[in-house]
């Protein structure tokens, strides 16, 4: 596990409320999310799908694939396909920089790398505050208010599969 992963996914990764609060009926269940930026907008994905976060790696390009599939990377002997989140979300492509990183997702015993502009933080989103009523498509898990903006919670399986569905926009 890289230092970046350890820093972000540090010690308090337990799921659910602490034991002393587990029996309280007034405790709202929370879902832990990793929040990341793509195109200057905040997106989130459930932390349970995140295996690790790594810096940019050399990419072996593939041909005749969807434009958002950037290629493959070798991660300690494992070949991992890479999806560029900005292209998958129909946002403007941008050059990678020193803050660009790869979120390695573990999905149904497969790994997929999601290239994002930067990782922000880990947050606990109250399950009741994730606005699933606004979910109009398979790519959304919900929307959570975050100051003057909103965190668009994405379905990790949608990010990793080919689809022609309209991409989400945080201000929809």
Tokens of 160: 């990793």
Tokens of 47: 């932390």
The ranges assigned to domains in the chain are 3-9+28-158
What pLDDT does 16 receive? 47
The pLDDT tens digits of the residues spanning 86-122 come to 999 999 988 999 999 999 999 988 999 999 999 999 9
Q: Please state, in angstroms and rounded to a whole number, the distance separating the CA atoms of residues 46 and 137.
A: 17
pTM of the model: 0.77
The pLDDT tens digits of the residues spanning 119-167 come to 999 999 887 655 555 445 677 787 888 888 889 999 998 888 865 444 4
* Better pLDDT: 95 or 10: 95
Residue/partner pairs of 59-62 with CB below 8 Å, 24 or more apart: none
* Better pLDDT: 51 or 137: 51
What pLDDT does 15 receive? 44
Could you identify the residue written with the tokens 């201000």?
A: 171
Tokens of 120: 């922000």
The pLDDT tens digits of the residues spanning 53-89 come to 999 999 999 999 999 999 999 999 999 999 999 999 9
According to DSSP, the β-strands at 110-116 and 78-84 are parallel
- Which string of DSSP letters, residue by residue, matches 137-163? STTEEEEEEETTEEEEEEPHHHHHS--
Sheet of strand 30-38, all strands in order from the earlier edge strand to the far edge: 118-126, 30-38, 41-46, 149-154, 140-146
The CATH superfamily label for domain 3-9+28-158 reads: CheA-289, Domain 4 (2.40.50.180)
Q: Confidence band (pLDDT; 50, 70, 90) for 40?
A: very high
Whether the Cβ atoms of residue 113 and residue 73 lie closer than 8 Å to each other = yes
Q: Where are the strands (E) in the chain, listed by range?
A: 30-38, 41-46, 50-55, 69-75, 78-84, 101-107, 110-116, 118-126, 140-146, 149-154
What pLDDT does 108 receive? 86
């Amino acid at each position: 596990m890289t230092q970046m992963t350890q820093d972000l996914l540090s010690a308090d990764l337990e799921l659910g409320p602490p034991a002393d609060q587990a029996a309280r009926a007034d405790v709202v269940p929370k879902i832990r999310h990793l929040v990341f930026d793509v195109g200057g907008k905040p997106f989130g994905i459930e932390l349970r799908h995140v295996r690790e976060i790594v810096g940019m790696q050399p990419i072996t390009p593939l041909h005749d694939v969807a434009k958002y599939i950037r290629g493959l990377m070798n991660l300690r002997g494992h070949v991992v396909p890479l999806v560029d989140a900005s292209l998958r979300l129909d946002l403007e492509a941008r050059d990678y920089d020193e803050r660009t990183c790869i979120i390695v997702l573990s999905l149904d015993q497969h790994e997929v790398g999601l290239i994002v502009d930067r990782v922000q933080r880990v947050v606990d989103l109250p399950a009741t505050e994730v606005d699933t009523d606004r979910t109009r498509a398979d790519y959304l898990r919900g929307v959570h208010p975050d100051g003057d903006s909103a965190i668009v919670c994405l379905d990790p399986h949608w990010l990793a599969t080919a689809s022609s569905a309209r991409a989400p926009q945080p201000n929809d």
